[in-house]
Structure 1
Amino acid sequence: MTERATPIEAESPPTFESLLGTVAEMNTPVGFKAELIRGKIVVSPFSRLRYYRPMRALREQLQAHAPDGHGADTSPFLFRFEAAERAYGPDLFVADESAFEEEGRHADGAALSLVGEFTSVSTRDADWSEKLEVYGRIVPVYLVVDMQDAEITCFWDPSPHGYRSRTTVSHGTPLTVPEPFGFALDTSGF
């Protein structure tokens, strides 16, 4: 018997819209969220309990300085970035509240004025590379709260090539959050 390669008929790769539909239909386990990262559906756990206080402190401070009509929250909403064919469920976000008046399950990433991601062992790489690249083209401010290194980094001034500016401070040091927020973030509780 002679061996020879046999072609396999494969379905074409799934589209961004079909992946979004799959995510919407998923029954993720309690305590987990699903996102579209690098063209794949990635399921990861929600933040650890010790993240609660810094997340609450950040949300409360951001809400007090949010642009008119924008709300700060930690609810598990998926924001779509169609040009990049990605959809993320940020740990914390500030977004135009009108984005939540639409039907559907995925908000437009253009509604975001700020995203905050709290790093964990399982999400750290995506927070520092994949998400930084996508957010850096459209989201005015991106905060990476690095829970492993006890630092917070603020990125701002998005461009087609990513953020043009960044500042990093250790937890406990005030961090300037630029416009449209324009205030010094108290990180002493982080």
Structure 2
Amino acid sequence: MIERPAGAIDGPPEESFVDMLRIVEELDTPDGYKAELIRGKIVVSPWSKLRYKKPMKLLRRQLEPHAPEGHDVDVAPFLFSFPGVGRAFGPALHVADEAAFEAEGRQADGAALSLVAESTSVSTKDVDWLDKLDTYGRVVPVYLVLDMQAEEITAFWDPSPKGYRSRTTVPFGEALRVPAPFDFELDTEGFVAQ
């Protein structure tokens, strides 16, 4: 079990969350930037560095044949909301039920996700390892963190009301078992920075 501070996931009241989510949706961010709702605040941050494209592309290609039926693997900039905890994230890569994209609006329900992957940067590392881990760990079956600074990948799975119950970490270059519903060995050889 991963420890986290008590009350770390408490969100704003529902009305405030809806108002803030509307603002995030209407925000005209500059090219190359995304807006997310983190800890009750709107956070605008740059998309990943260019060198992060290759690992995410390799990850995407390997996930596609193993995605659950009716789920789409994409890196498109979509916002997934978690209203119960007042969060809305735009993951680096997502696997989600295609039905989630038939709704109106600019954000999808976080419960549609079967896997999320984030690549860390110096500015977002804490959010990826703390707030997103806490939020995804209650709903999303699999969360992959590509720690670009440490050059390792961690798989979290088995979500619960208190967060993920299981995790495995390997350095880039070693195979990582991606658990159900994907259930395959991920080749991370190409993730190593050249």
- RMSD of aligned C-alpha atoms? 1.3
Separation in 1, partners of 2:65, 2:121: 27
Q: Which residue of 2 aligns with 1:40?
A: 41
Separation in 2, partners of 1:61, 1:82: 31
The within-5 A match list for 1:1-190 is 15-190=16-191
Structure 2, unpaired ranges of 5+: 1-12
TM-score of the superposed pair, with normalisation by structure 1: 0.92
SS of 1:15 mapped into structure 2: helix
Q: Tell me by how many angstroms 1:184 deviates.
A: 0.2
Deviations 1:24-79 (A, max 9, x none): 11110100000000000000000000011101000111111100000110000000
Deviations 1:72-130 (A, max 9, x none): 10000000001111000000000000100111111000000000000001110000000
SS of 1:93 mapped into structure 2: strand
Q: Tell me by how many angstroms 1:175 deviates.
A: 0.2
SS of 1:87 mapped into structure 2: strand
Separation in 2, partners of 1:73, 1:125: 24
Structure scoring higher RCO (CA < 8 A, sep ≥ 6) equals 2
TM-score of the superposed pair, with normalisation by structure 2: 0.91
SS of 1:59 mapped into structure 2: helix
Letter aligned with residue 121 of structure 2: S
Q: Which residue of 2 aligns with 1:6?
A: none
Separation in 1, partners of 2:53, 2:100: 25
Separation in 1, partners of 2:27, 2:123: 20
Structure 1, unpaired ranges of 5+: 1-11
